[in-house]
Amino acid sequence: MEKHLELGLIGKNISYSFSQRYFEDKFKKLELSSYTYTLFDLDCIDQVDLLFKNPHLKGFNVTIPYKQQIIPLLDELSPEASKIGAVNTVKILSSGKKKGFNTDVFGFEKTLLAHKTQGHNAALILGDGGAAKAVKYILDQHHIPHTTVSRKGALNFDNLKSATVSAHPLIIQTTPVGTFPHVQDCIEFPFEGLSQQHLIIDLIYNPHYTKFIKKAAEKGSKTVNGYYMLEQQAEKAWEIWNLE
């Protein structure tokens, strides 16, 4: 009899997530009837202990707000997860140990290299959460200087000026503002600082076009959403779960 193998996603208010549909489609294509992918909507990170007791669990993805909170509950971290301080993929090793990885870095790097040009040589990162940490890691790997705009930082959404935006031709929006169902929400941002030379990457994938992306496109900027990054990080997670 084929062994039942379980994967899933932990997070909070994650019914909108694309992951379950993505992996269920993958299981069908690969004719893997023994696999299931479940959304584990947790009220607090402590509830993950129940998951770890599941003998069929092979691993899971991690999303907001648990990418950092999961770390103390793991036995090992991959080098990139350790450096970033955020985990979005957990693998249960054959030894029973729980190891954390960050596949957001892989997905973001693929997205960045698919769209950036030589002119995109200075970046502005909007937000300072777990996703922003993955972005910073990749920008550092490619020697692209970056500045962070955050709610409580010295540079914040209240004092960000259009001249600063103009001086940073690469803008990465990492906050959840504008995510479904709050599609009319948008961060405070001086869009007049944007130009046709700008590349805007918004990590949100639902909706496809956030209010932020639409406003940036009106200024002639090249815009990219988070869907390709999401696909690429999911494929990297699948690869991790299937390596021993």
CA-CA-CA-CA dihedral for 41, 46, 49, 51, to nearest 10 = 10
Alpha-carbon distances, residue 46 vs 26, 56, 57, 212 (angstroms): 30, 20, 17, 34
Phi, psi of 5, rounded to the nearest 5 degrees: -120, 130
Indicate the burial class of 207 (C-beta count within 10 angstroms; 0-12, 13-18, 19 or more).
middle
Active site residues: 67
Whether residue 207 has a cis bond before it, omega within 30° of 0: yes
- CB atoms inside a 10 Å sphere around CB 141: 12
Beta strands in 98-176 (DSSP E): 98-101, 123-126, 146-149, 170-173
Distance spanning both ends of the chain, measured CA to CA: 22
